[in-house]
Amino acid sequence: MVGPRLYHYLDVPGQHTLEVYERNGGYQALKKALSMDRATLVDQVKAAAIRGRGGAGFPMGNKWGTIPPGSTTIYITCNADESEPGTCSNREVLERDPHQLIESMIICAYALEHVRTCYIYIRGEYRLGAERLNQAIQDARAQGYLGDNIMGTGFNLDIWVFRGAGAYICGEETALIESIEGKRGQPRLRPPYFPTVMGITNKPTVVNNVETIINIIPVVLYGADGYKAYGTEKSPGTKLYCMSGHIKKPGVYEAPFTVTLRQLIWDFAGGMLNDRKFKTLIPGGASFQWFTEEQLDTVMGFDEVRAAGSNLGSTGIMVMDETTCVVDAALNLVHFFAHESCGKCTPCREGTRWLEQIIWRIEHGQGRAGEVDQLLDITDNMDGKCFCLLGESAIVPVRSSISLFREEWDHHVTHKNCMVQRDYRMSSTAQPH
Ligand SMILES: Cc1cc2nc3c(=O)[nH]c(=O)nc-3n(C[C@H](O)[C@H](O)[C@H](O)COP(=O)(O)O)c2cc1C
């Protein structure tokens, strides 16, 4: 594949350094962008329809369009919190090609004109990524790509790296903003706090995922039409698919949005581990509906996955084979949400813990008659009542696995053991309280 590839140089030794990055064409897009009229640049981004890679798929150009006209202080914040289970594509960019993100953010800031400060909110555990970003910022500044009077244009910009402390909720954009402001990372009520209207210190703030932002480089270099030569009409460009679970070659693979799940598993990731039978997968990280064999030919674009009943999310594709116990898998995921619930709202704080306690009992042969239905009842009581999407996400693995594999859940309750021959338990054996 030629053209708008984001991962093109990722394997080149030293790509994280300014010298190698520039040798491979780095900062050429910035030079081109700075020579362009701002309105043309914004039009190109809108025409390219870059879909947000952080979960919702909202087009970047449309988000820019929601900034109140006449705003004189705008912040751009890169969401590099990347904590969705099974998702690790941002990390590759942060550690191995940090200048790509820096260059992209400078272009975005230039296009929006009234941006003087950008933040990169990076997941606390990404120590190497933070180090490399800080070095890249320092080197870009020394080279005149950042700071005052960037490349003689009179445009001034600084980028700051903000390290999170490892909370999943801080990936939610309003909690992220609270955290940057030095407060406890908990979500804000929307409306009125839509970030592009009232973000950091109540100023318009554009929050975008790492992968969304770096897509601006191919748009500048090849134009909106060149960019749209890949992918589908509504999901243009390429995507970094994170493949994990029972596959031979787990990893991050770049492919156009036209790729199918079957291709990703068998052509990219080498097929099922130990050639076992495929059972189920989650296409977009922990928060979304599970698929079975019937959906393997789904094209992995935003609208196609939604039409098939799930969501592309962060494309954290977790593949499970025939030896997987779905109760065990659901417990593992619900434990994550219960642990990460920020505690702000009752349905999420209490609901996730209650779900985890019941599933733990079912998984450990202590399930009582009627508890599978009780789980569904709890999810009904959480649905639409949580303050943010964390609680809404926590119910998905429960509902999804019960609707697809009810027999296995009932077997656990009735026979106090598991229907499948499994090699290991993926959830913790410690009883939640
Ligand atoms: C609980 C929760 C966690 C989230 N974590 C992330 C994250 O780690 N990275 C991310 O980009 N978006 C995350 N999001 C989505 C963000 O709120 C936001 O929609 C996204 O950063 C917007 O960027 P995009 O338009 O480029 O997708 C999360 C949302 C929720 C509800």
The answer to whether residues 177 and 115 belong to one domain is yes
Least confidently predicted of 3-17, 194-208, 407-421:
3-17
Predicted model pTM: 0.96
CA of 151 to the centre of ligand 1 (A): 33
The answer to whether residues 44 and 170 belong to one domain is yes
In a domain, 10, yes or no: no
* Residue 186 and residue 341 in contact, taking contact as beta carbons nearer than 8 Å: no
pLDDT tier, 160 (very low <50, low <70, confident <90, very high otherwise): very high
Please say if the pLDDT value at position 4 is more than 70.
Answer: no
Q: Comparing 233 with 171, which gets the higher pLDDT?
A: 171
Within 8 A by CB and 6+ apart from 430, the residues are: none
The answer to whether residues 394 and 260 belong to one domain is no
pLDDT in tens, 178-201: 999 999 999 999 888 899 999 999
The answer to whether residues 311 and 172 belong to one domain is no
Q: In the structure, which protein residues have their CB atom closer than 6 angstroms to any atom of ligand 1?
A: 52-56, 58, 79, 81-84, 168-169, 171-173, 207-209, 212, 388-390
Which domain-ending residue is among 321, 349, 368? 321
In a domain, 1, yes or no: no
Question: What per-residue confidence (pLDDT) applies to 432?
Answer: 86
Question: What per-residue confidence (pLDDT) applies to 296?
Answer: 98
Question: What per-residue confidence (pLDDT) applies to 5?
Answer: 56
b/e map 33-49, b = 16+ CB within 10 Å: bbeeeeeebbebbbbbb
In a domain, 426, yes or no: no
CATH code where residue 156 lies? 3.40.50.11540
Share of the chain above pLDDT 90, in %: 91
Atom of ligand 1 nearest to the CA of 79: 11
> Angle 56-157-89 (CA atoms, 0-180°, nearest 5)?
35
| Cis, bond preceding 192 (omega within 30 deg of 0) | yes
The answer to whether residues 62 and 131 belong to one domain is yes
CA pseudo-torsion sign 234, 240, 242, 243: positive
Burial of residue 117 (number of CB atoms within 10 Å: 0-12, 13-18, 19+)? middle
Please say if the pLDDT value at position 285 is more than 50.
Answer: yes
CA of 427 to the centre of ligand 1 (A): 25
Atom of ligand 1 nearest to the CA of 87: 8
Within 8 A by CB and 6+ apart from 69, the residues are: none
CA of 248 to the centre of ligand 1 (A): 29
Within 8 A by CB and 6+ apart from 349, the residues are: 341, 343
Burial of residue 148 (number of CB atoms within 10 Å: 0-12, 13-18, 19+)? exposed
In a domain, 213, yes or no: yes
- Strands 316-321 vs 278-282: parallel, antiparallel or unpaired: antiparallel
Reported residue count of the chain is 433
Domain span at 243? 238-321
Question: What per-residue confidence (pLDDT) applies to 6?
Answer: 64
CA of 173 to the centre of ligand 1 (A): 6
CA of 249 to the centre of ligand 1 (A): 27
Which of 58, 62, 79 gets mutated to test ligand 1 (max ligand atoms within 8 A of its CB)?
A: 79
CB count in 10 Å sphere of residue 398: 25
Long-range contacts of 258-263 (CB under 8 A, 24+ apart): 258/230, 258/231, 258/232, 258/299, 258/301, 259/299, 259/300, 260/296, 260/297, 260/298, 260/299, 260/300, 261/291, 261/295, 261/296, 261/297, 261/298, 261/300, 261/317, 262/296, 262/297
Atom of ligand 1 nearest to the CA of 210: 11
Please say if the pLDDT value at position 2 is more than 50.
Answer: no
The answer to whether residues 174 and 243 belong to one domain is no
* Residue 319 and residue 245 in contact, taking contact as beta carbons nearer than 8 Å: yes
Please say if the pLDDT value at position 275 is more than 50.
Answer: yes
CA distance 422 to 156: 58
Residue type for position 80? A
CA 118 to chain centre: 20
In a domain, 420, yes or no: no
Share of the chain above pLDDT 70, in %: 98
Number of domains comprising the chain: 3
Atom 8 (ligand 1) nearest CA: 82
The answer to whether residues 300 and 346 belong to one domain is no
